[in-house]
Amino acid sequence: MKIIAVASAKGGVGKSTFCCGVGKMLSVHGKRVLLVDMDIGVRSLDILLGVSEKTVYNWGDIIKGNCEYRKAVTETSKELFLLPAPIDFSTEYTPESFKNMLKTFEKDFDYIFLDAPAGLESGFKLATKVADSCIILSTPDAISIRAASYASENVRKSGVSNVRLVVNRYNKKIHKSINVDEIIDSVGARLLGIVPDSVEIYGSVNGQRIPYDSKGSQAFLRISKRICGENIPFRTKNM
Ligand SMILES: Nc1ncnc2c1ncn2[C@@H]1O[C@H](COP(=O)(O)OP(=O)(O)OP(=O)(O)O)[C@@H](O)[C@H]1O
Ligand SMILES: [Mg+2]
């Protein structure tokens, strides 16, 4: 079981969308995936995955002993599961209690993605303190790149050395003058992938399916293969 935190110091750069997209690709290719919403109070993965009516418990309930651990997990599609965030913060949510809670899922999942909230506070800290590796998301604009570099610095301070970068919402026409190598240098992390700015991905915020053969899905697929250790070449052509 691998625990991967998905983070950035900035909101709205596509962390939750990325978790759903890559999680979906891993799951349709036979991996068992758990997405954990780390945004205490402002959760969103349940809506993105179209299961907000089905979720009852959250990971806070597991830590507090309010429910048996499997009861807090909702299957959203074959092999893709969701563990929602609690509504309120509690001092019981420490890196130790959180890590122990995740360990109970050891035999159930191949990959656990921790979808961190915007900012560098509680949800971010909890996620990055327990993760084996971290994926930092940045869109190609200067504000987002700066936020991604803060996040990368903080993740390394938490003791995570395997930090990778995903450039999201890349549009070849708009970002003509943007050099991806410069983003890599600013963030200080190896590139894991580039996701195009796409109407299909945008539509997924309202629960629409991203067609499997769309550029967006194919970008998520390439990233999911790299996560599994495959050597897949990078391309920005037609993005
Ligand atoms: N590659 C993309 N192409 C088009 N739209 C995208 C892409 N990635 C994300 N979006 C859109 O950007 C918006 C923000 O995405 P999302 O909620 O995933 O960001 P976030 O980083 O998780 O935000 P928060 O920090 O608030 O949790 C959504 O409307 C989503 O559909
Ligand atoms: Mg989010």
**196-225 pLDDT, tens per residue?**
999 999 988 887 889 999 999 999 999 999
For residue 163, the model assigns a pLDDT of 98
Q: Given the CA of residue 170, which atom of ligand 1 is nearest to it?
A: 1
Higher local confidence (pLDDT), 96 or 203: 96
**140-187 pLDDT, tens per residue?**
999 999 999 999 999 999 999 999 999 999 998 888 888 899 999 999
The CA distance from 225 to 164, in Å, is 14
Around ligand 1, the residues with Cβ closer than 6 Å are: 11-17, 39, 44, 117-118, 168-169, 195, 197-198, 201-202, 204-205
Name the closest ligand to CA 37: 2
Whether the pLDDT of residue 43 is over 70: the answer is yes
Structure tokens at 235: 């391309």
Report yes or no: 15 and 124 within 8 Å, Cβ to Cβ: no
**In 3-state terms, what secondary structure has residue 112?**
strand
Whether the pLDDT of residue 236 is over 70: the answer is no
For residue 239, the model assigns a pLDDT of 60
Residue spans of the domains in the chain: they are: 2-227
The second-level CATH assignment, the architecture, of 2-227 is 3-Layer(aba) Sandwich (3.40)
The band of 37, judged by pLDDT with boundaries at 50, 70 and 90, is very high
Residues 6+ apart with CB under 8 A from 82: 34, 35, 37, 45, 46, 49, 51, 55, 73, 74, 76
Pairing assessment for the beta strands 133-138 and 190-196 based on DSSP bridges: unpaired
Tell me how far the alpha carbon of residue 217 lies from the centroid of ligand 2, in angstroms: 19
**Mean pLDDT of the chain, nearest integer:** 95
User: Minimal CA–CA distance to 58: which of 48, 49, 71?
Assistant: 71
Whether the pLDDT of residue 15 is over 90: the answer is yes
Whether the pLDDT of residue 238 is over 60: the answer is no
Average pLDDT (80-109) is 97
